[in-house]
Amino acid sequence: MNLDFTADEQAFREEVRAFVRDQLPAPIRHKVLNGLHLTKQDHVTWQRTLHDQGWGGPSWPERFGGTGWDPVRQYIFEEECAAGGAPRLIPFGLKMVAPVIMAFGNATQQQRYLPKILAAEEWWCQGYSEPGAGSDLASLRTRAERIGDRYIVNGQKTWNTLGQHADWIFCLVRTDLDVKPQRGISFLLIDMRTPGITVRPIITMDGAHEVNEVWFENVEVPVENLVGEENQGWTYAKFLLGHERTNIAGIGIAKRELARLKRIATIERKRGRPLIDDPLFAAKLAEVEIDLTALELTNLRVLSAEAEKRAPGPEASILKIKGTEIQQAITELLVQAVGPYALPYRREALEAGYQQDPVGPAHAASLAANYLNMRKLSIYGGSNEIQKNIISQQMLGL
């Protein structure tokens, strides 16, 4: 196993770094590096910039219009994009439903949906979680009854991220009530403009509208929008979740935020000295940096295995758990670094163009909101408790 980057990979890193530096619009970079809110158009602009470069699908095979990059190049690409202040690629289309359509969809579905995902012409959201069916996803109750050439969908999804922008939603629906829960689920693609769909915002504790409830009332879905076979959706769902969990590790973002933490700790002072020189704070900072380095090495081991055509197994759960814990620890230290200046909350201060004087240093304005928002990381994508069960069963044999 070789964990060093080759000369070609180092040259690729420089190419990506230069591209991000030259092509990422400065207003978007400013928002990302300062924790400000991004608009839908910010994400669309960056995705289309990448698409024009031929980099719109960094994890896609070439036959579907992707780059065909190996896992190591994908890792380098994501790390350099994060370091350069680029928005994280919205995963619902690119990294979640697209791999399912590639693997289990038919040719008509691949030709219809994949190019529009790549070119950011259609925005997707996820319809998995329901009240009473989050970590226990197989308990979902949203029903799809087949009548002729249509499904009639009724039910409710929740914790639907950015669905207020979406053109399409991929949904797990129950199509058979008389079998084991996992065997009666199907995977549908649903146009969000279909009559009977209602999107209701959920305002999270940081004051943001990021997630929603989505209600389906007698929603008619053509049978051709079924992916794969009826009642085999659980297989596709597990395939999708594997992609989601490796993506959640967020090592590039964590490295960028750790660098931001060090800059702020150099500016902030404690007893007349830079905070970064305080032994207690320095010890906390060192601990999280050591954890991040260990996680990066674990991730490189997984990438090395993937390069040798060995699919990641429960290692994805390790990446999910530690990646989310580290990101949460960094946001906690950022709040500690600015002390009482994290308390005033002006939501409008997180919008680009805010002109009023901040309460305290400008770098403090977004920290508490980001801290609160990051509490979700250890819950979504399969809670960290679920990931520990996977590790105990599949790695430790308990």
Per-residue pLDDT tens digits for 211-248: 999 999 999 999 999 999 999 999 998 887 766 655 66
Interval 46-75: pLDDT, tens: 999 999 999 999 999 999 999 999 888 998
Q: What's the CATH number where 301 sits? A: 1.20.140.10
Indicate the residue type of 282.
Answer: A
Give percent above pLDDT 90 in the chain.
Answer: 67
| Together in a domain, 323 and 293 | yes
302 shares its domain with 226? no
Residues 254 and 226 grouped into a single domain = no
Asked if the structure places residue 85 within a domain, the reply is yes
d(CA 374, CA 327): 7
**Residue 114 maps to a domain:** no
Q: In a 3-state reduction of DSSP, which class is residue 59?
A: coil
* Backbone dihedral angles phi then psi of residue 66, each to the nearest 5 degrees: -85, -175
203 and 163 share a domain? Answer: yes
* The two structure tokens encoding residue 266: 């150099």
pLDDT tops 70 at residue 312: no
Task: State phi, psi for 217 to the nearest 5 degrees.
Answer: -130, 105
Residue 96 maps to a domain: no
For residues 225 and 255, state if they share a domain. Answer: no
> 113 in a domain, yes or no?
no
Residue 263's domain spans which residues? Answer: 248-396
Q: What is the mean pLDDT of residues 151-162?
A: 96
Does the residue 242 lie in any domain? no
Domain membership of residue 51 (yes or no) is yes
Instruction: Say yes or no to pLDDT of 311 above 70.
Output: no
CATH number where 149 lies: 2.40.110.10
Residues 253 and 390 in one domain: yes
Same-domain pairing of 270 and 380: yes
**Could you give the 3-state DSSP secondary structure of residue 134?**
coil
Rg for the chain, CA atoms, rounded = 22
Residues 222 and 320 both lie in one domain: no
Q: Are residues 255 and 379 in the same domain?
A: yes
Domain boundary among 230, 259, 291: 230
Of 170, 199, 230, the domain-final residue: 230
- Using CA atoms, how far apart are residues 27 and 378, in angstroms rounded to an integer? 30
> Token pair for residue 222?
């053509």
Instruction: Please tell me whether residues 268 and 380 are part of one structural domain.
Output: yes
Domain-embedded: residue 280? yes
Q: What gap in Å lies between CA 265 and CA 277, rounded to an integer?
A: 9
139 domain residue, yes or no: yes
**Cβ within 8 Å of residue 16, ≥6 positions away:** 76, 77, 80, 81
**The two structure tokens encoding residue 92:** 């619902």
- How many domains is the chain partitioned into structurally? 3
Look up residue 286 and give its two tokens: 């060192």
Over the stretch 78-133, which tens digit does the pLDDT of each residue have?
Answer: 999 999 999 999 999 999 999 999 999 999 999 999 999 999 999 999 999 999 88
Same structural domain, 260 and 216: no
